[in-house]
A = this chain, B = another copy of it.
Amino acid sequence: MSDVRLLAAPFDPAEELRAFTAAHIVAGGIVSFLGQVREGGGVEALELKHYDPLTLPAMQDLAVRVRDRWVLDGLLVIHRSGVMAVGEPIVLVAAAARHRRDAFAAADFAMDHLKSESWFWKREKVAGEWRWIEPRAQDFEDIGRW
């Protein structure tokens, strides 16, 4: 029922949302979160590494937990791996539901868990040098809300 993908190449979030929306016409509301490589701080590129045996299976498990917890018509989770330029999408989560509250909570929960628990390691290129990004305390605060 859920569409969960780990992609090594760029994707088009607008077209993904268009297709997801068209596929869930019984849902009154669709909440989406799009994370992109933001411009600023001198960041030239971002790289996400994953570990094949764990990363996608854990994303699929997360989707199952989200579906168990909220009444959704559809759930979309797309996450990039590899090197991304500024402005490229990193992650797209969309939840389609009859009730708006369910869609908001499901997307929010999915993002908090993707950020803090998913098997991704991130590094940024600044002034030509790659540096690994440590986990942020905010991510653990976010996940503590649930």
Contacts and interface: CB of A to CB of B under 8 A. Distances in A.
Interface stretch (A2-10, A55-63, A104-112, A124-132): A104-112
- Of the listed residues A18, A38, A107, the one surrounded by the most CB atoms of chain B closer than 10 A to its CB is A38
Q: How many copies does the complex hold?
A: 2
A25 B90 CA distance: 13
A18 B98 CA distance: 24
Contacts of A108: 104
A17 interface: yes
A21 B37 CA distance: 11
Contact of A33 (B30, B36, B99): B30
Contacts of A135: none
13 contacts: A13-B18, A14-B14, A14-B15, A14-B17, A17-B17, A25-B36, A26-B40, A29-B36, A30-B33, A31-B33, A100-B142, A104-B107, A104-B108
